[in-house]
Amino acid sequence: MKAHYLFFVIFIFLAACHGQPIEMEIPIHADEGYEQTEVNNDERIQLEVWSYYHDGWEETFQDYQEEHPNIEFSITTFEYDDYYEAYFNAIATGDVPDIMVIDSPYLASFKSMDGFENLLDEPYLAGQHKHNFPEALWEVSLSLDGESLLAMPFNTSPLVTYYRADIMEDYGFPSEPDELAEYMEEPENWFLIGETLRRDDKWILQWPIEVIRLYESTRGFYNNEMKLVRDDGEFIQAVNHAQHVKDNGMFPGLDIYGWNGREAIRNDEYVMIYLGTWGADYIKQIAPEQEGKWRVTRLPFNLYGWTNSVNLAIPEASTNKLAAWDFVEYYTTERMMGGLIDSVPAYIPARGNEEVLSFENPFFGGQLTQQLYEDMMSKTEESFLTPLDFKTQHIWDNTIYDALELGLRPRQILDALTENIEYELAEDMEILRGSVTK
């Protein structure tokens, strides 16, 4: 592809995806390492896009139209809790848009069914981009048998620790990001923080199972042979930590997405919160008056975990597949070269952008948050996801809740988890084992 200069807009991407884009004019070279699909610029085409967030798309469409004035866009936005059902029903009936924006956990639900174009096939030939994406992230978008690429990822996010630096300093704990991360590598230090703050009704997690969530973020439920991969020493340690939290009352039981939890953030009660990079804007929306008091660092226990990626898919029933692919290819490669704020580009050549890495995040006291996010993703591997993950999560959570209440030992809890999952999902697992990657 002919090299040329482009000006990009850096966007804040979120899981709930609220907030306004941050505009930064950064002249950059588009990637020259692939053949771009040729689209007829004379034919008038209307591309319909479905997404679970709205922010940023209008600017993107306008920039794309500078070179493709014949392309018009319409966008339909769904609430996050509702969009999967809308997508599923659309694919089932064939009444689909041209492009679907889909989060990785929900994309996994389509891994063993038809509905999306295989982007490895002609005319797309997306495989030419594979070397420019992390291998594990690329696999997130593959069908369960590894034969089809269902979507192109454009971002990825580590799980991070947001914390109130001012409160940590007041209590005599490390308040600088690197120092705190190193301090929390030892579980005893993390427990000390939680037990100390608890005395004044301040908290470093919502409930006991959240400790296990930190460990969950480091791997999926299954490997590519559909065998459970959470039955080991790390998860025994995770259950031990959860029992310690429960026994010592280190949690308030307030959901940060509920009214009481949001109030707890505003009232300086939550001192640590564990979210993806998109969580920065969530906290800012809840408590804008706390600007400068928060910082972000890596996870306790020296863990490196992943939350999600966001992807663009083309439904099989789309009537504008070639034009849709041209936009998908542009968005996930060229446009990402401008970098992202509060996210990490999936496209490896887009990482390391000095303008982005030098961004001083005002909400975090001028901290260079993008440097941290990209560094963490360089040490983090995306999880292997399957169509059974939601069902498995439900069984997993219920079993852990019950087992913690009964006071079972960690080994007993892991045995119960394996037994319950394999019993309740035996038929599903057997079916999927017949179609996994060989």
pLDDT digits (tens, 9 = 90+) for 166-204: 999 999 999 999 999 999 999 999 999 999 999 999 999
In a shared domain, residues 146 and 163:
no
What are the tokens at 79? 């609430």
Task: Please name every residue paired with 312 in a beta bridge, in sequence order, or none if there are none.
Answer: 101, 152
In a shared domain, residues 25 and 150:
yes
pLDDT of res. 436: 73
In a shared domain, residues 56 and 117:
yes
In a shared domain, residues 137 and 181:
no
In a shared domain, residues 67 and 101:
yes
Report which DSSP code applies to 350: G
Total number of domains constituting the chain: 2
In a shared domain, residues 167 and 103:
no
In a shared domain, residues 249 and 134:
no
Among the listed ranges 30-44, 187-201, 276-290, 378-392, which one has the minimum average pLDDT value? 30-44
pLDDT of res. 437: 54
Structural domain contains residue 153 = yes
Q: Once rounded to an integer, what is the mean pLDDT over residues 155-166?
A: 99
In a shared domain, residues 297 and 339:
no
pLDDT of res. 40: 61
In a shared domain, residues 144 and 10:
yes
Structural domain contains residue 429 = no
Distance CA 395, CA 289 (A): 40
Report how far apart, in Å, the C-alpha atoms of 243 and of each of 37, 127, 180, 413 are. Answer: 55, 46, 23, 11
Give yes or no for a contact between 46 and 72, defined as CB atoms under 8 angstroms apart.
Answer: yes
Domain that holds residue 280: 158-219+229-306
pTM of the model: 0.90
Q: Once rounded to an integer, what is the mean pLDDT over residues 263-288?
A: 97
Kindly report, residue by residue over 108-141, the tens digit of the pLDDT: 999 999 999 999 999 999 999 999 999 999 999 9
Structural domain contains residue 151 = yes
What are the tokens at 200? 């004044």
- Torsion angle (degrees, nearest 10) of CA 245, 246, 252, 255: 90
Is the model's pLDDT at 38 over the cut of 70? Answer: no
Structural domain contains residue 81 = yes
Structural domain contains residue 211 = yes
Structural domain contains residue 393 = no
Is the model's pLDDT at 380 over the cut of 90? Answer: yes
In a shared domain, residues 128 and 193:
no
Structural domain contains residue 281 = yes
Q: Kindly report the CATH number assigned to the domain that includes residue 179.
A: 3.40.190.10
In a shared domain, residues 151 and 163:
no
Percent of the chain with pLDDT over 90: 86
- Torsion angle (degrees, nearest 10) of CA 184, 190, 193, 199: 170
Kindly report, residue by residue over 58-74, the tens digit of the pLDDT: 999 999 999 999 999 99
Is the model's pLDDT at 81 over the cut of 70? Answer: yes
Structural domain contains residue 11 = yes
pLDDT of res. 435: 75
